[in-house]
Amino acid sequence: MLVVDDNREVAAPLIMLLEYEGHVVRYADDGDSGLLAVSDHFPDVIFLDIEMPKLNGPEMAYRLLIQDAGRENIPIIVLSGVANLEEVAEKIGTPYFLPKPFPLDKLELLFERALKERRPPRTMQRTRGAA
């Protein structure tokens, strides 16, 4: 698992929960570091914040898509406090998103769903091109 969030204190409970459940978790504090972490080892799921310095969440997701080397097939769970979270998740192309702060039980259900379905992001451009 890869958690990409510029606020370690906010990410800490998620990291602890995932580790408690037996997952290996890596942490990155911005999109650039997240891309490097993905290059080192493909995670099963990426937990992605939206607003971050250097490279924000949507930009990181887009770069994963254009690299087109398997990275675009990693499910992304968007976790953010932005007001238009559903719209941002739709632009990224992920059905997996939760507004911050979130209850851990809802996060667990969303995470289990993402692992089961393994739906990678599909951007609006990609969807249109496939039609």
Residue ranges and CATH numbers for the domains of the chain are 2-130 (3.40.50.2300)
Q: pLDDT tens digits, residue range 84-127?
A: 999 999 998 899 999 988 888 899 999 999 999 988 777 544 43
Query: How confident is the prediction for the chain on average, in pLDDT?
Result: 87
pLDDT one-digit tens code per residue, 67-79: 766 677 789 999 9
Alpha helix ranges (H) inside 68-103: 85-92
Strand partners, 76: 46
Q: Is the pLDDT of residue 81 over 70?
A: yes
71 and 36 in contact (C-beta within 8 Å)?
no
The answer to whether 52 and 38 have CB atoms below 8 angstroms apart is: no
